[in-house]
């Protein structure tokens, strides 16, 4: 039992340390949309669980190879332990409970980030992705542009499609991405929360110019957005 107590203590220490590190390290980019906030909360939970599991396994492994090393002259065998039903049940059932809980939480977050905002009308933007450029249509205003400009704190619904091959719409600060597929329309909902300049990147390999398929994104105050709309050719 001495080994088990020392091991438990070490695991507690290491996993606490790792959890603190993962919670405080800035592992993801700036949060610039309500959806990004929900996704980051989920990331933090996943990283904490990962830290604990990693600690349990790594500490046990390192402890074993240090403490249970064979002496050079020892040709004997270890104890003939073939298994332990209770222990095996524990390490089957606890992970099962964890993954079921994670799946439920994940499904709730998914419902949250894909739901249409009910409080205010959505701004619709039709996105056409082509080798190797982006085009944005604002049907409510009758304009079409090659850069994406959006009012801050207003819900946006992107209706995506590809004109030639598959592309994918990703602004890392907004977290969630969606493919732009030829022959069908896909939907992505974002509510930008932070004024600033971002980059839209194509995340699905689309041929020669894939690496360079970007478009500028600007999130501005609502008044600035309306001025920008007026300045666009109809």
Partner 1 sequence: MTILFSLGIVRGIIWGLASGGVAAGIVMAIRSGLGLPMWSPGPVTGVAALVGTLGFLTGLGAFNYWLEWALGRQKEEHHADQPRWRRYFGFDTNHKTIAIQYMVTSFLVIVVAGIYQLIDRLEVSAPGMQYISPGTYNSLMSLHGIMMLGAVLLGVSGMINYLVPLMIGARDMAFPHLNALSYWVTPPAVLLLLVSLPAGGFDTGWTAYPPLSARAPLGMQFMLLAFYLVGWSSILGSINFLTTIFKMRAPGMGLFRMPIFVWTALSTAILQLIFTQFIAMAFLMVLLERLLGLVFFAPDKGGNVILFQHLFWFYSHPAVYIFVLPGLGVISEVLPVFARKPLFGYAAVALSSLGIAGGGAVVWGHHMFAAGIEDVLRVPFMITTLLVAVPTGVKIFSWLATLWMGKIRLDTPLLFALTAIVVFLVGGITGVPNGIVPTDLHIHDTYWVVAHFHHTLFGGFVFPTMAAVYFWFPKLTGRFLNERVGKLHWAVMTVGFFITYLPMFWLGLNGMRRRIADYDPTLGLGPMNMVATIGGFLIALAMLLFFINLVVSLWRGAPAPANPWRSQTLEWQLSSPPPDENFSAPPRVVGPPYGYGTPGSIHAVVAPAGGTANKGA
By CB under 8 A, what part of segment 40-59 binds partner 1? 42-43, 46, 49-50, 53-54, 57-58
Which residues have a Cβ under 8 Å from the Cβ of 183 and sit 6 or more positions away? 161
CB atoms within 10 A of CB 110: 14
Which residues make Cβ contacts (< 8 Å) with residue 123, sequence separation at least 6? Answer: 138, 140, 150, 151, 154, 155, 156, 157
Minimum Å gap between C-beta 13 and partner 1 is: 18
Choose, by CB under 8 A, the member of 182, 216, 222, 232 that binds partner 1: 182
Write out the binding residues for partner 1, residues 48-107 only, by CB under 8 A. Answer: 49-50, 53-54, 57-58, 60-61, 64-65, 68-70, 74, 76-84, 87-88, 91-92, 95-96, 99-100, 102-103, 106-107
Task: From residue 200, give the alpha-carbon distance in Å to each of 84, 88, 90.
Answer: 53, 48, 46
Which residues face 180 on adjacent strands? 167
Phi, psi of 205 (to 5 degrees): -50, 125
Q: For partner 1, which residue of 11, 18, 38, 200 counts as binding (CB under 8 A)? A: 38
Shortest spacing between CB 146 and partner 1, in angstroms:
17
For partner 1, how many residues bind (rule: CB under 8 A)?
A: 78
Report the distance separating Cα 125 and Cα 161, nearest Å: 11
Query: Is residue 17 at the binding interface for partner 1, with CB under 8 A as the rule?
Result: no
Binding of residue 233 to partner 1 (CB under 8 A):
no
User: Judged by CB under 8 A, does residue 199 bind partner 1?
Assistant: yes
Closest separation in Å from C-beta 222 to partner 1 = 27
């Amino acid at each position: 039992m001495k080994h088990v107590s020392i091991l438990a203590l070490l695991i507690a220490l290491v996993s606490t340390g790792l959890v603190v590190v993962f919670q405080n390290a800035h592992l993801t980019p700036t949060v610039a949309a309500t959806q990004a906030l929900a996704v980051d909360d989920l990331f933090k939970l996943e990283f904490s669980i990962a830290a604990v599991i990693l600690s349990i396994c790594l500490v046990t492994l390192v402890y074993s190879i240090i403490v249970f090393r064979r002496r050079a002259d020892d040709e004997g065998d270890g104890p003939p332990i073939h298994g332990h039903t209770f222990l095996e049940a524990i390490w089957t059932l606890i992970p099962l409970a964890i993954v079921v809980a994670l799946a439920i939480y994940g499904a709730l977050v998914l419902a949250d980030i894909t739901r249409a905002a009910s409080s205010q009308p959505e701004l619709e933007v039709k996105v056409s992705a082509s080798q190797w450029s982006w085009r944005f249509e604002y049907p409510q205003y009758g304009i079409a542009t090659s850069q994406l400009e959006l009012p801050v704190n207003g819900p946006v619904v992107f209706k995506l499609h590809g004109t030639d091959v598959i592309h994918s719409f990703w602004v890392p600060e907004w977290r969630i991405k969606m493919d732009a597929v030829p022959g069908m329309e896909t939907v992505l909902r974002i509510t930008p929360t932070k004024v600033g300049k971002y980059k839209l990147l194509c995340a699905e390999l689309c041929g020669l110019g894939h690496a360079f398929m970007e478009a500028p994104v600007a999130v501005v105050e609502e008044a600035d957005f309306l001025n920008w709309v007026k300045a666009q050719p109809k």
